[in-house]
């Protein structure tokens, strides 16, 4: 497993774009490192990867990665990625989404891509807040926590992205955190290898906003919080709900093996003899 300090540079737009925009200590950079190391582990070529993101702090990630990169509109990364994957099925397609981007405005594309089981590896950066716009609550902000639009504490219940993805039909779901950089890398690798819609939820620190509004301290403090509150899925199975109260579960939480969409579509093309171009449009439609 690549832990060498230099492997990532191969994948960075190092000459152009650094230092990046993220706040000092922001976990998004750590997650990006884990993703790039996972790519390195799998020896994936840069030209074989399409990386698509939406809008948010998280959404800036493709700027720094030397793939085919597309920074789309807020919430729509997975829908764009769907068009890319379907029309170029040989590409490794990675969608980078934030908790607001991927689960609030983009929730519908998330569940439908999961249902369709199209081969997109989704990295969900969950910092429990809308970072880019300055700290409004997101669908993963825990009940009672503060945000600029939850000045009296959040009244809403958060999604558990795992349950949502599974309920929608995702093929693979794993979770880790910025503290667990190595585990994150391994899980992303698994997701990249998995055919179908796979999600890796990376718990991240937005100390600048979430941390400040909820008095959870600096980047370092928040990262250490992840250390203290992670429970591996195998260990979690033996714990009571009370013991897991303020914990989050890491590891591969869900795996399935349903047929993948773009593969099915290619098979349909083959079945219809669509590989060789036909000469003339056959024209006939009747609707009674």
Ligand X SMILES: Cc1ncc(C[n+]2csc(CCOP(=O)(O)OP(=O)(O)O)c2C)c(N)n1
**Applying CB under 8 A, which residues contact a copy of itself?**
104-105, 107-108, 111-112, 115-117, 134, 139, 152, 155-160, 163-169, 258, 261, 264-265, 268, 271-272, 287
* Binding of Mg ion by 75 (CB under 5 A): no
Residue 112: helix, strand or coil by DSSP? helix
Ranges within 30-59 binding ligand X (CB under 6 A): 55-58
Q: How many CA atoms lie within 13 A of 197 on its CB side?
A: 24
* Binding of ligand X by 98 (CB under 6 A): yes
Name the token pair of 256.
Answer: 């399935």
Binding mask 101-130 for Mg ion (x = CB under 5 A): --------------------------x---
30 binds, among a copy of itself, other proteins, ligand X, none (CB under 5 to 8 A by kind): other proteins
Q: What CA–CA distance (Å, rounded) separates 101 from 86? A: 22
CA–chain centroid gap for 154, Å, is 24
Nearer to a copy of itself, 19 or 151 (CB): 151
Quick one: angle between helices 77-87 and 261-271, nearest 10? 30
Nearer to a copy of itself, 160 or 216 (CB): 160
Binds ligand SF4 (CB under 6 A): choice among 131, 139, 196, 251: 131
Q: How many CA atoms lie within 13 A of 2 on its CB side?
A: 21
Ranges within 178-207 binding ligand SF4 (CB under 6 A): 206-207
Alpha helices, DSSP H, located in 67-124: 77-87, 99, 107-116
Binds ligand SF4 (CB under 6 A): choice among 7, 12, 23, 235: 23
165 binds, among other proteins, a copy of itself, ligand X, none (CB under 5 to 8 A by kind): a copy of itself
Ranges within 60-79 binding ligand X (CB under 6 A): 74
* Binding of ligand SF4 by 26 (CB under 6 A): yes
DSSP structure string for 248-277: EEEEEEEE--PPPHHHHHHHHHHHTT-SSP
Nearer to other proteins, 134 or 242 (CB): 134
Name the token pair of 110.
Answer: 């998330």
* Binding of ligand X by 25 (CB under 6 A): no
């Amino acid at each position: 497993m690549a832990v060498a300090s230099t492997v990532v540079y191969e994948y960075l737009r190092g000459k152009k774009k650094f230092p990046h925009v993220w706040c000092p200590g922001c976990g998004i950079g750590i997650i990006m490192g884990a993703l790039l190391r996972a790519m390195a582990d799998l020896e994936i070529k840069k030209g074989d990867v399409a990386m698509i993101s939406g809008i948010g702090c998280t959404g800036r990630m493709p700027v720094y990665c030397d793939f085919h990169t597309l920074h789309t509109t807020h919430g729509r990364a997975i829908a764009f990625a769907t068009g890319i994957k379907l029309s170029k099925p040989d590409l490794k397609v990675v969608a980078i989404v934030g908790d607001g981007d991927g689960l609030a405005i983009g929730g519908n594309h998330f569940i439908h891509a999961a249902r369709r089981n199209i081969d997109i590896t989704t990295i969900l950066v969950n910092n429990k807040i809308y970072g880019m716009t300055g700290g409004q609550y997101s669908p993963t902000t825990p009940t009672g926590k503060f945000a600029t639009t939850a000045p009296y504490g959040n009244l809403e219940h958060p999604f558990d992205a795992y349950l949502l993805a599974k309920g929608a039909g995702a093929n693979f779901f794993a979770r880790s955190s910025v503290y667990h950089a190595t585990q994150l890398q391994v899980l992303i690798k698994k997701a990249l290898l998995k055919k179908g819609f796979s999600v890796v939820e990376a718990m991240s620190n937005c100390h600048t906003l979430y941390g400040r509004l909820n008095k959870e301290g600096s980047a370092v403090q928040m990262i250490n919080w992840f250390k203290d509150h992670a429970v591996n899925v195998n260990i979690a199975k033996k714990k009571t709900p009370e013991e897991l109260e303020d914990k989050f579960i890491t590891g591969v939480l869900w795996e399935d093996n349903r047929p993948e969409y773009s593969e099915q579509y290619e098979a349909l093309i083959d079945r219809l003899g669509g590989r060789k171009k036909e000469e003339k449009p056959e024209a006939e439609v009747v609707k009674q």
